[in-house]
Amino acid sequence: MDVPTYTPRHAAVPEGVVVVERASAAQDFGPKLNRTAADVVRFLMQHGEMVTATQSLSDEMMELFAAEIGAEIRLVDPGEEQEAELRKLLGIGVADDEAAPLRPPVVTVMGHVDHGKTLLLDRIRNTNVVDGEAGGITQHIGAYQVERNDRGLTFVDTPGHEAFTAMRARGAGATDIVVLVVAADDGVMPQTTEAINHAKAADVPIVVAVNKIDRPNADIQRTVAGVAEQGLVPEAWGGETIYCEVSALTGQGIEELLDQILLVAEVEDLRASPDGRAGGVVLESNLDIGRGPVATVLVQRGTLRIGDPMVAGASWGRVRALLDDRGEAVDEAVPSTPVQVLGLSEVAIAGDAFAVAPNEKIAGRVADTREHWQRLSSLGREAHALSGGAKLEDLFTRIQRGETATLNAIVKADVNGSLEAVTESLRKLETGDVRIAIVHRGVGGITENDIQLASASNATIIGFNVRPDRKAREAADVENVEIRTYEIIYKLLEDVSSAMVGMLAPDITEVVTGEAEVRQIFRIPRVGAVAGCYVQNGTITRGAKVRFLRDGTIIWKGAVNSLKRFTDDVREVQSGYECGIGLSNFQDLKAGDIIETFEEREVARTLDG
């Protein structure tokens, strides 16, 4: 189920504009416009929409009725207006004091896949992350803290695969400085440009790290020129962008890179008060079997302590434990510190703001209110997903009738960021012929409940870095539910694409196999007219389907009834030879006509058309 992340609307509603929640029923929508529910229902029925007073209305229905009566409305998600009040209760949005002490910079490492981002961080913090990652690809955000000249730096490592664009955007939104990693032997790649765009959108300074300078085929000047074309002009060329030449493999240039980051941080004058209730952003979240919901958060103001009543989206709880980036327990976390938080009621949504509430009562109230509105907002989407999917037995019938086929899917992943990335990638695979309906998505292992939902909605379960337990596997066997599990997103998308292609009915293509020109007509008693022909192209085969052309116009379609070479019956005649062709049920033959033989072949269709 898609759960939105709510952000308050700061712009005032213009006078005369009526605020209406999406998916409102006619009985709620009508009175807002000084009309009754019956007025709304009657109008929609006149326009072919059969609705009841208690049925949720689509955006188009409400906008159509508003236009009819000359009203102006603004549609908002359920709970959006209430969110502003909730944020006031939590103190979110309070500006930092300019006299607050300096804080460590939050540095986001971005760049193309396999350009050495994780290895660069590995070199900086003297640990090994790469070996533990499937395929050497970072699958979710990791945050780490290091020290340089008695000053702290917080690094956020974002995945380089294009499927994780949303995660990379979220990383840029929480950062102070971006380190753009570009391989000297590869140059600017598509995700390099993406990373630059995200950093520019976040309006943060960029430091370019030209990596892999130790490679024999490294071309530093070409790489710098390629990045400069994206608007990042080096200081040496009169620009404002700092460039550092580094080798994550040998450690060359790493210290200079850290010094340059600290220099930029000094210019930015980053400050945050450690006093007061903590607030920040959820970088990542997952469900741990032994520890329950775990959220990786970045503290942006105040100090987060054990025992604090904390709210993150619709999740809340008293902080039971705090773990730093090395997995060690800590008692508190000050601004710019990434920590794992244990004690939340459920898995938080990555990208949500978190805040410490004045007390547990307010924390529970805020979380429950958000959950209520999020549940209302998701009901319509969930119902649409369930109703849109074709049953297994009539799926191919739908395709053959020319209707859109739907692949229902339940997506489970190990962490929220990966879940978001997989979901968005699957949606990008949709075409005019096949659409993907995400019946449900969630963080954690594949359970019996997932199997039951998949069975009821005829869905395939897709697991990313998660596995079904024994009971779930047994239930899947009984319910005949397909479970596909993956550790590499490339393989996941490749398999889903193949499955979608398999759902597409094959195209039937006519292939011309031969052409013969009628040269002379023979009339044979009890046989009829036989065409004396010259085969111009291809092969004429006995029994082949025929189009009979006269002056380029099809005047008859049938089959080759008989085929002779002189007096002998033959199975086929090649190009350049003469033959006698007898056609079934067609006698109107004239010299100069063209006999075109063809066959129908099934051609597998592809997603791109």
pTM of the predicted model, to two decimals? 0.59
What are phi and psi for residue 93, nearest 5 degrees? 100, 0
Q: Is the pLDDT of residue 6 over 50?
A: no
Tell me the per-residue pLDDT of 135-170, one tens digit each, with 9 for 90 and over.
Answer: 444 444 578 888 888 888 998 876 544 445 555 555
| pLDDT score, position 585 | 76
| pLDDT score, position 163 | 45
Tell me the per-residue pLDDT of 354-386, one tens digit each, with 9 for 90 and over.
Answer: 888 888 888 888 888 777 776 665 554 444 444
d(CA 523, CA 389): 61
Stretch 284-303: mean pLDDT, rounded? 87
Which residue has 């005047």 as its token pair?
555
The region of weakest confidence among 286-295, 377-386, 407-416, 556-565 is 377-386
Take residue 395 and report the two structure tokens written for it.
């799926």
How does residue 82 score in pLDDT terms, banded at 50, 70 and 90?
low
Q: Between these two residues, 141 and 410, which has the higher pLDDT value?
A: 410
| pLDDT score, position 505 | 59
Tell me the per-residue pLDDT of 576-591, one tens digit each, with 9 for 90 and over.
Answer: 899 999 887 777 888 8
| pLDDT score, position 225 | 93
| pLDDT score, position 384 | 41
The CATH homologous superfamily to which domain 389-503 belongs is: Translation initiation factor IF- 2, domain 3 (3.40.50.10050)
d(CA 379, CA 381): 6
Tell me the per-residue pLDDT of 509-529, one tens digit each, with 9 for 90 and over.
Answer: 778 899 999 998 888 877 778
Take residue 171 and report the two structure tokens written for it.
């990383």
Tell me the per-residue pLDDT of 537-546, one tens digit each, with 9 for 90 and over.
Answer: 899 998 889 8
Stretch 28-42: mean pLDDT, rounded? 90
Take residue 417 and report the two structure tokens written for it.
């960021």
How does residue 224 score in pLDDT terms, banded at 50, 70 and 90?
very high
* Helices 416-428, 489-503: crossing angle, 10 deg rounding: 30
d(CA 503, CA 399): 8
Specify whether the CB–CB gap between 579 and 565 falls below 8 A. yes
Stretch 183-189: mean pLDDT, rounded? 88
| pLDDT score, position 166 | 53
Q: Is the pLDDT of residue 38 over 70?
A: yes
Tell me the per-residue pLDDT of 249-266, one tens digit each, with 9 for 90 and over.
Answer: 888 999 999 999 999 999
- First-to-last C-alpha distance (Å) of the chain: 30
Q: Is the pLDDT of residue 2 over 50?
A: no
CATH of domain 507-603: 2.40.30.10
- Secondary structure element (H or E) that encloses residue 183, with its range: strand 177-183
| pLDDT score, position 139 | 47
d(CA 324, CA 144): 8
The region of weakest confidence among 32-36, 322-326, 420-424, 605-609 is 605-609
E strand segments, 444-592: 460-464, 483-486, 507-524, 528-541, 545-550, 553-565, 568-569, 572-574, 578-583
Q: Does domain 80-101+272-380 have CATH number 3.30.70.920?
A: no
Stretch 439-461: mean pLDDT, rounded? 82
The region of weakest confidence among 127-136, 156-165, 384-393, 598-607 is 384-393
What are phi and psi for residue 256, nearest 5 degrees? -60, -40
Domain boundaries, the chain: 23-76, 80-101+272-380, 106-268, 389-503, 507-603
Q: Between these two residues, 6 and 607, which has the higher pLDDT value?
A: 607
d(CA 481, CA 477): 7
| pLDDT score, position 393 | 39
Tell me the fold of 106-268: Rossmann fold (3.40.50)
Specify whether the CB–CB gap between 515 and 534 falls below 8 A. no
How does residue 228 score in pLDDT terms, banded at 50, 70 and 90?
very high
d(CA 147, CA 337): 12
Is it true that 106-268 and 389-503 share their CATH fold?
yes
